[in-house]
Amino acid sequence: MAFTFRFAEPFAQVKGSPIRELFRYLSQPGMISFAGGYPAPELFDEAGLQTSLLAVAHNLGTTLSYGATEGWPALRESFARLTTARAIPTQAEQLIVTSGSQQGFDLLLRAFIQPGDTVVVERPTYPAALQGLRLAGAHIVTIGSDTQGPDLAELAAVFKQHQPKLLYLVPTFANPTGATIDLQGRRRLLDLLAGTSCVLIEDDPYGQLRFSGAPVPTLAQLAHDTPVADQVVYLSSLSKTIAPGLRLGWMRAHADILRRCVLAKQVDDLCSAPYLQAVAAHYLDSGRYETHLPNIAASYGERARLMIASLRQHFGDNLTLLEPEGGMFLWGRLHDGLDAASLLPLAIQENVMFVPGSAFYAAQPDPQAFRLSFTMSTPEQIVQGCERLFRATQRLAQGETAGQ
């Protein structure tokens, strides 16, 4: 008789990431993936990182020992300068280093959420955030969103009805839609936050990847020196702008929040790797970050425009696209009642992958929506992949299924 494991309730019937489930198809010969939201490896500043790696290697000091849970002092200073450069005045003691912004979100869940506590997210939103909320036992309430971000009238009603503990947003180049909340919307959002007991988590991993349009202040910048300043937590990361393999991000928050997140991090991983923190600090202080970042954003802009043009060439008016001004994602919606989940197996047969929109919803999914990432593909792959996606859509429209 098989042994019965008594897992905690959230893990009893847990499902894996719908995006990572697609990994097994990457080894399929000739596969073009628009699925994963990963930065382009060929755009990593390898020369700059190698210089920083060698500089730290030649002076290891205490980087091979345990470090402070709050973060390597030099990197906290570097992150404080970087955050201040984004017009969010910050001292090193106002932030902690995390193993990517994903860890920052998880630490906040540990500090705030008990089973049944309400957290508000957009519809659609980042799937790893949904997974974290489910495992924490949170009561997830969703609000609709469009090209300008969340439905603020709906948010006002949710604040009144549910008194949520947390509101999670990616306000700039959102994952998955690429949408950005405009300045007026950001101010209205902060006005709604005032008078509530809700903490707003601003997740900003993509904000520096703007390739068109005018910059918009972060919510943390707009909230600074206002009554809601303490209610805004700012998360960011080096994963999308330097290299995800460093696994480094940071959290800027009120001291009471940071203190509790440090305790949670001590249990989690004790500290982020000091050696890699020292490398990141050297790289940031070298000035190469500021000089290299425009190259990444410009390249992503070229790829995004090419993908949009290729899709329009094939689909014409039979596909709705939300055109981003930055970031890594393109959000599409099929017409004529075609289902994106049904399209995926046919697309895989055509050697192209994407993520059906249902992966990004906690409730009320849009079956016709899907996400494409333009960052990991060459121009040739983008053109070929869009053609393959169109062929798969034609097959679906003709009633074909993957088993036929």
Both tokens of 109, joined, read 């869940």
CATH class of 16-37+291-395: alpha beta
The H or E element spanning position 219 is: helix 219-223
Q: What is the pLDDT of residue 404?
A: 60
The CATH number that domain 60-286 falls under is 3.40.640.10
Contact yes or no for 253/277 (Cβ under 8 A): no
Sign of the CA dihedral with 94 first, then 99, 101, and 104 last: negative
pLDDT at 19 over 90: no
SS3 336: coil
Contact yes or no for 31/354 (Cβ under 8 A): no
Contact yes or no for 262/96 (Cβ under 8 A): yes
The secondary structure of residue 58, as a DSSP letter, is T
Q: What is the pLDDT of residue 137?
A: 95
What band does 256 get if pLDDT is binned at 50, 70 and 90? very high
Report the C-alpha gap between 22 and 20 in whole angstroms.
5
Q: What is the pLDDT of residue 16?
A: 66
Task: Give Cα separations from 344 to 184, 200, 336 (angstroms).
Answer: 37, 35, 16
pLDDT tens digit sequence for 177-229:
999 999 999 999 999 999 899 999 999 999 999 999 999 999 999 999 999 99
SS3 224: coil
Q: What is the pLDDT of residue 307?
A: 98
Both tokens of 358, joined, read 């249902």
Considering the chain, tell me which residue range(s) the CATH 3.40.640.10 domain(s) occupy. Answer: 60-286
Considering the chain, tell me which residue range(s) the CATH 3.90.1150.10 domain(s) occupy. Answer: 16-37+291-395
pLDDT tens digit sequence for 135-170:
999 999 999 998 888 999 999 999 999 999 999 999
Both tokens of 75, joined, read 């990197």
Distance from CA of residue 386 to its chain's centroid? 24
Contact yes or no for 329/170 (Cβ under 8 A): no
Q: Which residues of 19-45 are buried (b: 16+ CB within 10 A; e: fewer)?
A: beebeebeeeeebbbbbbbebbeebbb
